[in-house]
């Protein structure tokens, strides 16, 4: 059975003592089951949004190759489909899945059943209704006109705020009722994300900004939605999954602290680097460029910490799709952050600003990091909540290879296309036509990768359906990769 | 960390610090920004056009800003005769600075392309005028009728792009959007208000 919670002050200093806490499988199962309803609901809704967002994204991509595709109806025009894709993916897929991740993580980390679980269920539903209303209005031509903040501030945003606050209340109530003395690093990230999100979302949606202030607030929000919401909950998840799956404590408590507080301090100031060269007071942009460069501190801290936790055990990725995805996601976090720092430098930004490079960058962040982390989380969490294993090894492998390969192709293609487009936009002698034609083949390649990724999503959704709604495979005794068969490595393990 | 209080206070402190620096401080510094005398206040029709610009997501491919000539070639490429400044945007709510130049910058599109009919046809079918364009057409901003009625303004469309039968009527919306685009002219000299000097040391 479990040992009593430690109160030895010498041990409090290190997260290492988390590894000394022994929790019985029965106790763990009780925590998992305490959040069963909201966790499953959130994941279900998230996968539905994922499929909707995939269609919207594909359509947006195809419209670059065939500009006359589906132009007759206003709601199908590129300028509505594209923001709908972003909002569905950010608020529908990622955020809803993140609700489930938080509601599953908190009881385990606080060693207490989930509190106010029904409130969280209502919160997820309210959030979903708000998003549905917002997307419908957006497609009908009623949006706020600010990137990342398109959802109608009158009809959609209040529901999102209430929904997130309800889920957040459940998270914080569980935290307040904790039976552990030391707060594990994942708790910091997950718990802090909720007040952060509510503050930035409310600040971003206030209706009284004008002119360049409106731009400042827009990018203050949009950058922090990534930095203080999408990033933080997923870092919390990765910080939980890596040590848990390989059975080894986090490398350094102090690096975790530097990573967390450094991110909180610097990320929040980054937003204006989206407006480099723009008509804002130059000190604002300089502040953001400086803060962007300072991001190297928390990013490297987290990168080293997570790498040193896994190092030497990368072979374990063969046996766990969750670990495979969490490791790729963690590496992508480092990669996307370093790319972001690079892009914030004026010498790079003068080429890449206003080009498809930015889209490649945001997909490295939102897909290779956030989405893969959430897929990894679902591979780990769903079997434990549903108490049955993923039925097919083959489908897991197909999913990972399709989405991983597709997204690498996506990022490389758009990255190259973006740089070519940017060089052309900058070249004094070239007309605008050159920037369009230089990006065209890469945009076509992006559409190809979009199809590959979509196939991966269909595989995943089908597999999740098999897992959840068929009892056929509930008797599977082992996780899908238990009996080896390397995923990413050819060599057979004896 | 063992205390919730440290976590919540620290988290609040960092985000509020950023909020003060990037939102509240600029808000008060830019509050007394005055419109340059040559900048026209948008009229009813232009505001309707601006709303259509927003609702059809023009912002996802077009910027409205001319950047610093020190490190960009925006001015060299004819996007304007000077970099844009905060005072140029005092009437903009929400801002439409944009983040993509999949299509060209529109900060001075009214100066560059003042022809109303060009814009109308270009909105209906961009490739009728610019063969290499990847901009979508916006036929839903026009009305398609079998025959023109009294008072209808018919759009003159070259052969391959015209519908096989009937006529295309210029709607109020299409006219408003074009009026807004043509109103985008910022070729007056940069205003040097006190507020501007204060925030740009």
Q: Count Cβ atoms below 10 Å from residue A177 Cβ, excluding itself.
A: 16
CATH number reported for the structural domain that contains residue A70 in this entry:
1.20.120
d(CA B197, nearest CA chain A) in Å: 10
A218 at B interface, C-beta within 8 A: yes
Of A147, A210, A257, which is closest to B90 when you measure between CB atoms?
A: A210
Contact A114, A34 (CB under 8 A): yes
Complete domains list, chain B, with CATH: 44-199 (1.10.760.10)
- Within 8 A of A269 by CB-CB distance, chain B residues are 18, 21-22
Cα distance between residue B104 and residue B132, in whole Å: 13
Q: State the pLDDT at residue B2.
A: 75
SS3 B106: coil
A308 and A254 in a common domain: yes
User: Contact A209/B94, CB-based, under 8 Å?
Assistant: yes
* Closest residue to A264, CB basis, from B1, B14, B71: B14
Count of the separate structural domains present in chain A = 2
Residue appearing with tokens 């109303």: B116
Return d(Cα B124, Cα B199) in angstroms, integer.
43
With a cut of 50, say whether residue B148 has pLDDT above it. Answer: yes
A10: in domain: no
State mean pLDDT over A482-487: 43
Phi/psi for B150 (5° steps) reads -60, 135
Which residues of chain A does B11 touch, with a Cβ-Cβ cutoff of 8 Å?
Answer: 192, 195-196, 264
Same domain, A262 and A154: no
Instruction: Name which residue leads in pLDDT, A182 or A326.
Output: A326
Question: CA nearest A111: which of A177, A35, A166?
Answer: A177
Q: Of A163, A181, A199, which closes a domain?
A: A181
Residue in chain A nearest B73 by alpha carbon: A426
Of A192, A213, A278, the CB nearest to B65: A278
Range of weakest confidence among A233-247, A279-293, B26-40 = B26-40
Structural domain that includes position A160: 23-181
**Residue found by looking up tokens 């490190």 in the block:** B71
User: What is the C-alpha separation between A211 and A213, in angstroms, rounded?
Assistant: 5
Note whether residue A115 is domain-resident. yes
* Mean pLDDT of the region B120-141: 96
Let me know how long chain A is.
Answer: 494
A230 and A136 fall within a common domain: no
Query: Longest Cα pair distance anywhere in chain A, in angstroms?
Result: 75
Centroid of chain to Cα B85: 15
For residue A58, the Cα-to-chain-centroid distance in whole angstroms is 19
Show residues of chain B in contact with A277, CB under 8 Å: 65, 67-68, 71-72, 74, 83
Search chain A and give the residue with CA nearest B132: A433
Q: What percent of chain A has pLDDT over 70?
A: 91
Domain assignment present for residue A43? The answer is: yes
Please enumerate in sequence order all residues whose Cβ is within 8 A of that of A403, keeping only pairs 6 or more positions apart, or say none: A367, A371, A372, A375, A453, A456, A457, A460
Q: Which range is least confidently modeled, A57-61, B32-36, B113-117?
A: B32-36
Strand-pairing partners, residue B142, are B170
Question: Does residue A206 belong to any structural domain of this protein?
Answer: no
CB burial of residue A70 (10 Å; 0-12, 13-18, 19+): middle
Angle in degrees, CA A216, A221, A226, rounded to 5: 130
Distance CA A229, CA A245 (A): 24
Taking a C-beta distance cutoff of 8 angstroms, is the pair A293, A286 a contact? no
- Does residue A72 contact residue A40 with C-beta atoms inside 8 Å? no
pLDDT in tens, A68-90: 999 999 999 999 999 999 999 99
Across the interface, do B26 and A67 touch by the CB < 8 Å criterion?
A: no
Interchain CB contact of B27 with A (< 8 Å): yes
């Amino acid at each position: 059975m479990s040992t009593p919670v430690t109160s030895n002050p010498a041990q409090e200093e290190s997260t290492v003592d988390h590894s000394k806490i022994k929790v019985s499988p029965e106790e763990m199962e009780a925590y998992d089951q305490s959040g069963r309803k909201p966790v499953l609901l959130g994941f279900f809704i998230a996968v539905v949004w994922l499929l909707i967002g995939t269609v919207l994204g594909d359509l947006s991509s195809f419209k670059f190759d065939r500009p006359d595709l589906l132009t007759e109806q206003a709601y199908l025009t590129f300028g509505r489909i594209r923001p709908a894709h972003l909002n569905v993916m950010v608020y529908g897929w990622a955020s809803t899945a993140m609700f489930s991740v938080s509601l599953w993580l908190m009881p385990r980390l606080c060693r207490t059943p989930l509190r106010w679980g029904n409130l969280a269920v209502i919160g997820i539903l309210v959030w979903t209704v708000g998003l549905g209303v917002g997307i419908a209005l957006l497609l009908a031509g009623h949006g706020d006109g600010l990137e990342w903040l398109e959802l109608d501030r009158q009809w959609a945003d209040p529901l999102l705020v209430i929904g997130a606050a309800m889920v957040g209340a459940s998270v914080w109530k569980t935290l307040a009722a904790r039976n552990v003395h030391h707060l594990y690093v994942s708790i910091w990230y997950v718990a802090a994300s909720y007040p952060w999100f509510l503050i930035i979302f409310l600040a971003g949606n206030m209706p009284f900004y004008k002119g360049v202030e409106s731009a400042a607030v827009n990018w203050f929000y949009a950058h922090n939605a990534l930095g203080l919401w999408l990033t933080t909950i997923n870092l919390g998840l990765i910080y939980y999954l890596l040590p848990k799956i390989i059975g080894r404590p986090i490398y350094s408590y102090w690096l975790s602290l530097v990573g967390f507080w450094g991110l909180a301090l610097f990320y929040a100031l980054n937003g204006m680097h989206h407006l480099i060269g723009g008509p804002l007071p130059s000190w604002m942009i300089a502040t953001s460029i400086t803060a962007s460069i300072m991001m190297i501190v928390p990013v490297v801290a987290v990168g080293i910490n997570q790498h040193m936790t896994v190092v030497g055990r990368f072979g374990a990725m063969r046996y766990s799709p969750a670990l495979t995805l969490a490791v790729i996601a963690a590496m992508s976090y480092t990669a996307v952050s370093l790319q972001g720092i690079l892009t914030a430098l004026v010498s790079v930004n003068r080429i890449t600003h206003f080009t498809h490079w930015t889209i490649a960058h945001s997909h490295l962040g939102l897909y290779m990091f956030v989405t893969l982390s959430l897929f990894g989380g679902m591979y780990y969490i769903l079997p434990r909540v549903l108490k049955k294993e993923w039925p097919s090894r083959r489908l897991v492998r197909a999913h990972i290879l399709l989405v991983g390969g597709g997204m690498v192709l996506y990022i490389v293609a758009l990255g190259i296309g973006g740089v070519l487009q940017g060089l052309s936009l900058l070249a004094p002698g070239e007309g605008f036509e050159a920037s369009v034609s230089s990006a065209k083949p890469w945009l076509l390649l992006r559409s190809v990768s979009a199809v590959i990724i979509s196939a991966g999503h269909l595989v995943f959704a089908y597999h999740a359906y098999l897992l959840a709604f068929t009892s056929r495979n509930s008797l599977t005794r082992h996780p899908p990769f238990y009996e080896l068969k390397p995923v990413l490595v050819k060599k057979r393990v004896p | 960390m063992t205390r919730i209080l440290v976590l919540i206070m620290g988290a609040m402190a960092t985000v509020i610090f950023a909020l003060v620096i990037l939102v509240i401080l600029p808000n008060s510094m830019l509050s007394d920004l005055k419109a340059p005398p040559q900048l026209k206040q948008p009229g009813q029709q232009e505001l309707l056009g601006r709303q259509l610009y927003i609702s059809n997501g023009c912002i996802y491919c077009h910027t409205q800003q001319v950047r610093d000539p020190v490190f960009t070639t925006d001015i060299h490429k004819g996007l304007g005769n000077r970099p844009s400044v905060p005072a140029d945007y005092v009437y903009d709510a929400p801002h439409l600075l944009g983040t993509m130049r999949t299509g060209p910058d529109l900060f001075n599109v009214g100066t560059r392309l003042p022809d109303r009919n060009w814009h109308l046809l270009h909105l209906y079918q961009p490739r009728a005028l610019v063969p290499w364009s990847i901009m979508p057409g916006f036929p839903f901003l026009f009305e398609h009728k079998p025959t023109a009625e009294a008072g209808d303004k018919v759009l003159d469309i070259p052969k391959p792009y015209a519908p096989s039968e009937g006529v295309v009527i210029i709607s109020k919306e299409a006219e408003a959007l074009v009026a807004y685009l043509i109103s985008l002219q910022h070729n007056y000299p940069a205003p040097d208000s006190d507020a501007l000097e204060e925030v740009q040391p």
